Chain A
Amino acid sequence: MKNDKRPINAGRKIGKGVTYALLSLWGIIVLFPFYWMVLSSFKSYGSYNAEYIPKFYATDPTLQNYRSAFTEVPLAKYFGNTLIFTLATTAIMLVVIVLAAFAFSRLEFRGKNIVFALFLSLMMIPNELVIITNFVTITDWNMRNTFWGLILPSVTSVFYIYLLKENFEQIPDELYKAAKVDGTSDFKYLYKVMLPICRPTVITVIILKVIECWNAYVWPRLITDDQAYFLVSNGIQEIRENGFGRENIPAMMAAVVVISLPLIVLFLIFRKKIMSGVMRGGTKG
């Protein structure tokens, strides 16, 4: 309090200072890798390798690395693939979980509780178990190295159905009854009333899924060995192992910057929504 006439503890001021110092320290630790990433991407190949002691600035900043990143490896293709994958998976997922959440929250049917309990129990199954069979399944269906192979197993998550169902349930029954009296079909009600009301949760789910898809690594790596179908994560891995990654670190960094950028930009724009969404998702779990 500014007008607090009580003797302000010198200890309290020091305490605050220490807190800020430590918080800033962690902030630096978090930010440093990003700084280094961007910095290195601007160093020319020669100057990077010449630095025995890495410099904190670029002596000879260049955009060459970015050019290399796009020309020497199909970075743009990886980008595009990931974009397609993310959009398609998220879209299909939305349809699936909205329908399912609606069924659980609004419709009465025999065995509803049992089925829902079963769904919930599926949440316990770790991805690592199912991935084995899915690999074989996709292989058997000849869907390796295809988009559908990438998308289909990634579509569902019981967790999102659960989140959305909870949200749907909070809409009072009266709204539904009023809509029914007006002759609204169930589907229309879902589309015109429930979804708009639950928009925040829907957006949360979308954002979480987008992050999940953009950063997907294990599944794409497992079923694609054709570069044309790589996503950004296994693309990066490819560059690192077989591409210029091993020698041309700055170019590698440029590629890394490029693929990290979209999500970071998304994050900065939708910061509040993302963070509150993750928190809600986390606490509900």
Chain B
Amino acid sequence: MKIVLEHVTKRYPNRNRKIKTEVIAASDLNFEIPDGQLIGLLGPSGCGKSTTLNLISGLEPPTEGRIYFGETDVTDLPPEKRGVGLVFQNYALYPHLTALQNIMFPLQNLKGENRPSKQQMEERAVETAKLVQIDQLLERRPKEMSGGQQQRVAIARALVKRPGVLLLDEPLSNLDARLRLQTREEIRRIQRETGITTVFVTHDQEEAMSISDSIVVMKDGAVHQIGKPQNVYDDPVNLFVAKFLGTPPINVFTGEVKNGSLSIGEEAVLRVPGAPDGEVSVGIRPEGFVPDENGAFGCGLDRVEIMGRDTSVVFTHPLMENEQGRAVISAELAAGLSGDKVRFSLKPNKTHLFGPDGERIRFDI
């Protein structure tokens, strides 16, 4: 079912009692997650994404605002009444129970008519185990299983109650690199098969972008942008979002707009009609550089890294935020690069302007 957060705020009193101001973990969250979608909550650590997850699950009540599952106001409901499944970062599998017993555990809490018989419980547990492909290991204890296997048990335990909402807290961060790729596909597959609205929290933007239907980018307790991964990448609303998404990261320069023309340093590098005059930060995606002898933008060439299909051009520029920048061009175009200088022309749709406050300044392409 869909999840609606309506002006949800979460404040904590400061742990240092001498400081009177409260800590705002989540600030005026106001968005809707459509039914049946896989959503990634993305952001650096401390941005409030885990808090948001806790608010949705009901483990923490909001200081202000309301939360709805479907049409039902669940704000005042404790977690067990909301019908959520939660997969913890460290799985929280009961070490003294087997995988099967762990998965059956939630079912044993059901009361009254809803309570299935012992046999039904086991059947449902096995069925869910098959869904996550852990049915061969049901008699093992958690410490006899690998990290990836434990996680699948945790997912099964969350799913066995047939919740309306599935929440995952940093599901991939405890896995090694190879397993991560595999598991994130698993998560998507499971979500597609069950159709349950799923929200997962991560700090890895590549992860979030690769499997989510939509991503929610957060920082300092506030939502900065929501949208389909490609849209958020192509059309960031502010400098933070632009810098957070994309590998290799966006290259940022200081520049100036005058009369519809963008200059970086002495060079006028791009026409930006519709943009107001003033100082700007210029973010250029790695794929936005085209090597061109007559290109408008000159940089110092540090080195060229061959990657086979693409070539990475590592360059320098006095007005760049970092010491080095990286452009990614297709290998064929790299042939002419030599010496210690390189000239580029810029793709307008990969060049983004941001004002002094970090907000995006749009121009006509």
Contacts and interface: CB of A to CB of B under 8 A. Distances in A.
11 contacts: A1-B61, A3-B11, A3-B61, A3-B63, A4-B61, A5-B61, A5-B76, A6-B61, A6-B76, A6-B77, A6-B78
B268 to A, nearest CB: 55
Contacts of B76: 5-7
Interface in A1-58: 1, 3-7
B312 interface: no
Interface residues of A, number: 6
Contacts of A1: 60-61
B75 interface: yes
6 cross-chain pairs, A with B, having the tightest CB-CB distances, nearest first: A6-B76, A4-B61, A3-B63, A5-B76, A1-B61, A6-B61
Nearest to B61: A4
Interface of B: 11, 60-61, 63, 75-78
Nearest to B76: A6
Contacts of A5: 61, 75-76
A7 B77 CA distance: 10
Nearest to A4: B61
Contacts of B77: 6
A3 B61 CA distance: 8
Contacts of B60: 1
A1 B25 CA distance: 15
B65 to A, nearest CB: 11
A3 B76 CA distance: 11
A1 B59 CA distance: 11
Nearest to A2: B13
Given A5-B61, A5-B76, A6-B77, 11 more contacts: A1-B60, A1-B61, A3-B11, A3-B61, A3-B63, A4-B61, A5-B75, A6-B61, A6-B76, A6-B78, A7-B76
Which of the listed residues B60, B63, B75, B78 has the most CB atoms from chain A within 10 Å of its own CB? B63
Contacts of A4: 61
Contacts, number: 14
Contacts of B75: 5
A9 to B, nearest CB: 10
A285 B63 CA distance: 46
Contacts of A6: 61, 76-78
Contacts of A3: 11, 61, 63
Contacts of B61: 1, 3-6
Nearest to B78: A6
Nearest to B10: A3
A5 B78 CA distance: 11
A176 B187 CA distance: 48
Contacts of A7: 76
A6 to B, nearest CB: 5
A1 B61 CA distance: 8
A232 to B, nearest CB: 43
B124 to A, nearest CB: 30
Contacts of B63: 3
A7 B214 CA distance: 35
A210 B78 CA distance: 51
A3 B63 CA distance: 6
Nearest to A7: B76
A4 B12 CA distance: 12
A4 B63 CA distance: 8
A12 to B, nearest CB: 12
Contacts of B11: 3
A4 B78 CA distance: 11
A5 B67 CA distance: 13
A4 B59 CA distance: 11
B118 to A, nearest CB: 30
A1 B63 CA distance: 10
A28 B11 CA distance: 39
A7 B63 CA distance: 15
A211 to B, nearest CB: 34
A244 B75 CA distance: 72
A1 B55 CA distance: 13
B113 to A, nearest CB: 25
A85 B77 CA distance: 64
Nearest to A6: B76
Nearest to B13: A2
A4 B58 CA distance: 11
A115 to B, nearest CB: 33
A117 B219 CA distance: 56
B64 to A, nearest CB: 8
A6 B74 CA distance: 11
A6 B61 CA distance: 8
A242 to B, nearest CB: 57
A188 B61 CA distance: 58
A127 B78 CA distance: 55
A11 to B, nearest CB: 14
Which of the listed residues B11, B61, B75 has the most CB atoms from chain A within 10 Å of its own CB? B61
A6 B60 CA distance: 11
A4 B76 CA distance: 8
A1 to B, nearest CB: 6
A7 B61 CA distance: 12
B72 to A, nearest CB: 15
A176 B77 CA distance: 58
B83 to A, nearest CB: 17
Nearest to A5: B76
Nearest to A3: B63
A264 to B, nearest CB: 30
B79 to A, nearest CB: 11
